[in-house]
Copies of this chain bind each other. A is one copy, B any other.
Amino acid sequence: MSETSLTSLLTGPVEVVGTGLIGTSIALACRRAGLEVLLTDTTSDHVRTATGLGAGRARTAQDVPQLVVVAVPPDALGAVINQVLDTAGPETVVTDVGSVKAGPLAAVAGHPAISRYVGSHPMAGTEHSGPLSANAELFDGRPWAIVPGPDATSSATRVVEALALVCGAVPVHLSPVEHDRAVARTSHVPHLMASLVAGTLAGASPEHLALSGTGVRDVTRVAGGDPHLYSQIISGNATAVATLLAEVRDRLDLALEAVAAGDRAGLESLLAYGQAGTRAIPGKHGAAPQPMEAVRIALPDQPGGLARLFSDAGDSGVNIEDVRIDHDPGRPVGLVELDVVVGRAEELRAALESRGWVTHR
């Protein structure tokens, strides 16, 4: 079925239960598409705020939504999905947008309306919260996992896929078990490992921390996320996380043995396996990862410096694929690394040097 005909399956009204960041953003995206949107939240202030933003109107008892989107905190998902299935119309499709999918599905097991429930999971940033942070563009081009259980009808699944498309997202079809394994691998275990590394820095002496470079900053960045939220998410995916984490623990034991025993070949082979893993992550826009070269430029730390740099880089005609700013302590000037596809670095470097920039090789 084409995207256009799929999208036309969503005719509304769409009810959004839980008008936080994700719920209100979905409501705004549906409104953008001209759909009628009904809003429900245990906090009536949130509904008023979302209504004020143009996200829809408060739901009344007479409304019969085509699709209900449950966007409540992880701990409340199961109860709210059940309640919505209990009370919704006989044709109403129900989805949720939680980060873990087996739990909500288990919570509705045996419900007479289970064929109309299809879990989903938009991969969108959540470091802010509340309706005031919402945006209709939040899901543009993001993966959105569509996760039907074994009892879901294909027509219900297509309505949820249509929601993802209306929101501008890219649907990715996965079973609940596969989805939860996937996010254990791409999100929950990396988060835990980053947190363990960051934990070794807590209480370390300032002299030791003075040697921190960009590597340890990158590795630990995600560990800055809200511990309360992540403990809910990770606990909700306990089976998949524990399975993968046990594998990682076994490989950590191998690494530890190799280091302690001076088995350098063993260590090198573990590191080579990791290097291969970094190349498995899909590149920009889902394409195969492209080999990149970095151009390093010294940057005076003052307003407008980056603007001048990017303006000069833009004039070169070489597209910048990624950018990093080095914040090493004590550095009076910043160091900016611009990634370009292999073969274009020299061109960019020459263009920048001709405009007075100091590049590092």
Tell me, in angstroms, the Cα distance from A277 to B327 when the chains sit together: 17
Contact check, A280 vs B201: say whether CB atoms are below 8 A apart.
yes
Contact check, A277 vs B200: say whether CB atoms are below 8 A apart.
yes
Known contacts being A142-B331, A277-B223, is A212 close to B282, with CB within 8 Å? yes
Say how far A11's CB is from chain B's closest CB, in angstroms: 26
Task: Select the stretch in A39-47, A148-156, A314-322 that faces chain B.
Answer: A314-322
Complex interface: chain B residues within 8 A of A49 (CB): none
Q: Among residues 164 to 219 in chain A, which have CB atoms less than 8 Å away from a CB atom of chain B? A: 170, 172-174, 178-179, 181-183, 185-187, 189-204, 206-213, 215-219
Q: Which residue of B lies closest to A192 (CB)?
A: B255
How many chain copies?
2
A79 CB–B CB distance under 8 Å: no
Q: Among residues 289 to 324 in chain A, which have CB atoms less than 8 Å away from a CB atom of chain B? A: 294, 296, 298, 301-315, 317-323
Q: Which residue of B lies closest to A273 (CB)?
A: B199
Tell me, in angstroms, the Cα distance from A287 to B315 when the chains sit together: 35
The number of chain A residues touching the other chain, given as a range, is 35 or more
Complex interface: chain B residues within 8 A of A162 (CB): none
Contact check, B271 vs A227: say whether CB atoms are below 8 A apart.
yes
A133 CB–B CB distance under 8 Å: yes
Contact check, A219 vs B222: say whether CB atoms are below 8 A apart.
yes
Task: Produce 1/0 per residue, A13-45, CB < 8 A to B.
Answer: 000000000000000000000000000000000
Contact check, A190 vs B219: say whether CB atoms are below 8 A apart.
yes
A325 CB–B CB distance under 8 Å: yes
A102 CB–B CB distance under 8 Å: no
Can you list 6 A-B contacts (CB < 8 A)? A134-B361, A193-B196, A193-B252, A199-B277, A301-B319, A306-B313
